[in-house]
Structure 1
Amino acid sequence: MILSTGAVRLWIATSLLVLSGCTTPPASDTAPPAPGASSRPAARTPAEASVAAEPAPVASPLLPAGEALREFEQGKASWYGPRFNGRRTASGERYNMHELTAAHRTLPFGTLVRVRSLVNGKEVDVRITDRGPFSRGRVIDLSRAAAEAIGMLGLGVKDVLLLVPESTPPVAQPPAATKRQRTVRRVPGPR
């Protein structure tokens, strides 16, 4: 069967029309303008422009007021940033390096932890949203914002003390420092 040029063009146009119906329009980040509003962007003063360029301030998760804290764990902290930004964490949340969050091996997700630098005494409250760290000898992985708050961005690794509220479940004990036992399997010798 041979189709005329017009029929082929009609078939192509119809196919494209059907395929275009399968797409969705991109989401708009802005609300429609109010009636009578100008479509031109408003002029910004230099002060407004510099504020808009910075990331929005992040509210620090505060530990419960008046609740006693107990020492939980001491060791080395590290931080993770841009490479993991936007990826899903073990808790299902998306990692945001600008929020005060952290990864810990055993603490329940959502636990608030005060991280105190043993180098300079600075403290930051973080919320556990991920599992880790997976590097030997580390006790916590901090978000970039939390690492910046205790002054460890340039260092990469820092000695810290973790403090948790007394109400933190006892199930969340720090992992015991155990030495791995090697299993030796005996192979029967010749008889």
Structure 2
Amino acid sequence: MIDLLTGALIALLPTVPGEPEQMVVSHYGQLPPGQSWNRLKDGSVFRPEQDFVAAHRTLPIGTRLLLTNPEQPEQKVVVDVLDRGPFIRGRDLDISTVAARKLGIYEQGVAQVEVRLLPTEAPPLSGVLMSLN
């Protein structure tokens, strides 16, 4: 029921006109023992198992993205760009652990996904999606 409702909410989101972009996405959220997370670039504390967030090198902080797993098109997530990265060559976007799990790419670690920009006036859904989980 929750997945059906989440899918319905995502389907209602308007996207910015244009073709989706293919990006190489990895996930971040686990640190070596003894290390703690710094704040995200927007100033918030990163909670990788709860927050649907992403890191990108140049997209403005606050940009909202719709990510789709091309191998499983029913697997979609909305993330907010709130951090900078990834800092590994060949990767375009880092996403939180919870977003990677929902997208079905967690086990792969790195995957190619379809990325669409959502209009800046689109309502923030990351909190709504978090509360549905």
Scaled by the length of structure 1, what TM-score is found? 0.50
When the two chains are superposed, the root-mean-square deviation of aligned CA atoms in Å is 2.5
Separation of aligned partners in 2, 1:100 and 1:132: 15
Q: How far 1:66 sits from its partner (Å)?
A: 5.2
1:101 has 2:53 as partner: yes
* Letter paired with 1:131: R
Higher-RCO chain (CA-CA 8 Å, sequence separation at least 6): 2
Q: 2:109 aligns with which of 156, 160, 166?
A: 156
Percent identity for Structure 1 against Structure 2: 34
Shift of 1:75: 2.2
SS of 1:133's equivalent in the other structure is coil
What is the rounded CA distance, in whole Å, between the counterparts of 2:78 and 2:97 in structure 1?
Answer: 13
Task: Report if the CA contact (8 A) 1:152-1:158 is conserved.
Answer: yes
May I ask how many residue pairs the two structures share in their alignment?
Answer: 108
Given that 2:27 and 2:100 are in contact with CA atoms closer than 8 Å, whether structure 1 keeps it comes out as yes
In the TM superposition, what are the counterparts of 1:103-122 in structure 2 within 5 Å? 103-121=55-73, 122=75
Question: Unpaired runs of 5+ in structure 1?
Answer: 1-59, 169-191
DSSP-derived class of the 1:69 partner: coil
2:68 is the counterpart of 1:68? no
Alpha-carbon distance in 2 for matches of 1:109, 1:145: 19
* 8 A contact 1:119–1:158 mirrored in 2: no
Quick one: which of 23, 41, 44 aligns to 1:90? 41
- What TM-score do the two structures reach when normalised by structure 2? 0.69
Unaligned runs of 5+ in 2: 1-5, 122-133
Residue 146 (structure 1) shift: 0.2
Q: Is the 8 A contact 2:15 2:116 kept in 1?
A: no
Bigger Cα Rg: 1
Task: Assess if the C-alpha contact under 8 Å between 1:103 and 1:132 holds in 2.
Answer: yes
- SS where residue 101 of structure 2 aligns? helix
Deviation at 1:68, TM superposition (A): 3.2
